[in-house]
Structure 1
Amino acid sequence: MKIVLTCEHGGNIIPKEYESLFSNQEAILNSHRGYDLGALDVFKTLEPIADFSKHSITSRLLIELNRSLHHKCLFSEFTQNLSKPEKNKIINQFYKPYRDGIEAEISKYIKQGETVVHISVHSFTPVWKGLQRSVEIGLLYDSRIQKEKQFSKALKLELINQSNYKIRLNQPYLGKSDGFTTYLRKQFPINYIGVEIEINQKFYQNNKMPHILKQTILECLGSFKQKHREYNSEITNKIF
């Protein structure tokens, strides 16, 4: 098993050549609309268990890395009126290098006969449309895919056993909605498990998520990887 770790919304940086589009928009760029608060902090904690990791610190308001090229929200209100050549330049400069690089790495592992578990780290605003969200950690997956369902349910159980967080499956969003993992499932229908971890931003303080939260997720994922190694070792010993 290979763990691929990604973070599509790790920062709110606007490249210098596009700063004029975001003049006096610091408040939005620093909000949950500009990036996933605390997601990069969690990502960096989880990196030691990853076989491959990649993150972006370019604001999702320039281009949304977690949406398909045909999605209506690929470009925000700040960039949607750009000309087609200008949009293509952003796609080629920021979108494709990020996504293509990750896809190539997953392809390499799968061709080697590995199962790839792709963990995409995100965070979400605690209040949406005036309603308080009760979920604290969400695990998003495609419920139609048995291996993703089994992995996510097992990870939820592991997290529950090690913490008091409110863990929910396919909340606050559905894992089968348009996104990077949804795209990758179509490219790799075999030996790919894509799970998005969504963390409530109510825990976010001073540019960090709580140490205990990060360590809990790290230990749970590390436990999965170790169990997989032990299982493969046992099978190998039986064969030889």
Structure 2
Amino acid sequence: MIAPVEILNGMGQGRVVLLCEHACHRIPAVYDGLGLTEADSLSHAAWDPGARSLSIELSRALDAPIVASTVSRLVYDCNRPPEAPSAMPERSEQIVVPGNAGLTQSQRDDRTTAVYEPFCAAVANVLDGRGPETVVVTVHSFTPVYFGQNRTVELGLLHDEDSRLVDAMLDHVGRLPHRRIERNEPYGPADGVTHSLRLHALSRGLPNVMLEVRNDLLRTDEQIAVMADEILALLQPALNDIAIREDES
């Protein structure tokens, strides 16, 4: 049996902890494919293409542990609380999810217990064993076309109430003049996407950022390596900046 969560480089000693809630499109057999076509079960609705591989590249550079879900977000989206309809969506963009239609509370509770709670427990286990200098970075990708609309943003830096790390990263965007980088795009807190940041980082007072990378920039190993380097060009000096500010305060 495959566990619903994996921890990679769990003994990493870097300051950053990486979370990848949508790392996998796997639908456990018990859910009978959720009634999806094969194409839909492999689409961006089911996972964040390239996000796990990007997390691994960042982990190598930062010596960062990774906590990643091994279950499709259409079974349970680990970046949503159990009470949110989008935790087990009946529809994702234009894809209908038959296996999520009319779920009973008992069925929802079963998925919460099977997928969400182990993920949260793994994150807590990693974070609770570390010091207050820890930084939480969640890694996601997004589709370049959403409801028929092209998205021009290439890298989104998302935050909730704590913008320390995003502010510091944006101070260095001049290092990437070719890249379209935006704050809280293509999603933001109002869209409910900062659940993990709030639950795991804000609750512990840890600086944090949610990375959203347009997935057409993550299609090959070479592209993923380039994007990792570009993110590091913002993240590494930002980590130094906030460390200095914390020492001065």
TM-score normalised by L of structure 2: 0.78
Q: CA RMSD in A?
A: 2.6
2:203 is the counterpart of 1:187: yes
- The offset of 1:46, in angstroms, is 0.6
Q: C-alpha deviations, 1:98-144, integer Å up to 9, x for none?
A: 112212332333xx4x23311000011111222211110000012xx
Counterpart selection for 1:211 from 215, 220, 225: 225
C-alpha distance in structure 2 between counterparts of 1:177 and 1:128, whole Å? 14
C-alpha distance in structure 2 between counterparts of 1:139 and 1:79, whole Å? 30
2:125 is the counterpart of 1:107: no
Do the aligned residues in 1 keep the contact of 2:51 with 2:141 (CA within 8 Å)?
A: yes
- The offset of 1:185, in angstroms, is 4.8
2:22 is the counterpart of 1:9: yes
Note the 1:25-40 alignment, pairs <5 A.
25-40=37-52
Counterpart selection for 1:120 from 134, 138, 142: 138
Q: C-alpha deviations, 1:192-238, integer Å up to 9, x for none?
A: 12210000122232577442222221343334445667x59x98xxx
Q: C-alpha deviations, 1:48-94, integer Å up to 9, x for none?
A: 21443211131101111110111111112223434433332221121
- The offset of 1:39, in angstroms, is 0.9
Secondary structure of 2:77's aligned partner: coil
Between stretches 97-106 and 192-201, larger displacement belongs to 97-106
Do the aligned residues in 2 keep the contact of 1:160 with 1:167 (CA within 8 Å)?
A: no
- The offset of 1:158, in angstroms, is 2.4
Indicate the structure (1 or 2) with the bigger Cα radius of gyration: 1
Do the aligned residues in 2 keep the contact of 1:175 with 1:196 (CA within 8 Å)?
A: no
Counterpart selection for 1:141 from 136, 159, 163: 159
Structure 1 residue runs of 5 or longer lacking an equivalent are 236-240
Other-structure match for 2:112: 91
Do the aligned residues in 2 keep the contact of 1:159 with 1:217 (CA within 8 Å)?
A: no
Structure 2 residue runs of 5 or longer lacking an equivalent are 1-13, 91-98
How has the CA–CA distance of structure 1 residues 42 and 172 changed in structure 2, closer, same or farther, with 3 Å as cutoff?
same
Do the aligned residues in 1 keep the contact of 2:165 with 2:239 (CA within 8 Å)?
A: no
Note the 1:29-178 alignment, pairs <5 A.
29-48=41-60, 49-77=62-90, 78-109=99-130, 112=131, 114-142=132-160, 145=161, 148-175=162-189, 177-178=191-192
C-alpha distance in structure 2 between counterparts of 1:210 and 1:108, whole Å? 30
2:221 is the counterpart of 1:222: no
Instruction: Report the number of matched residues.
Output: 223
C-alpha distance in structure 2 between counterparts of 1:130 and 1:22, whole Å? 25
How has the CA–CA distance of structure 1 residues 59 and 164 changed in structure 2, closer, same or farther, with 3 Å as cutoff?
same
C-alpha distance in structure 1 between counterparts of 2:140 and 2:182, whole Å? 14
C-alpha distance in structure 2 between counterparts of 1:217 and 1:91, whole Å? 32
TM-score normalised by L of structure 1: 0.81
2:214 is the counterpart of 1:197: no
Do the aligned residues in 2 keep the contact of 1:12 with 1:58 (CA within 8 Å)?
A: yes
How has the CA–CA distance of structure 1 residues 54 and 208 changed in structure 2, closer, same or farther, with 3 Å as cutoff?
farther
Between stretches 52-61 and 206-215, larger displacement belongs to 206-215
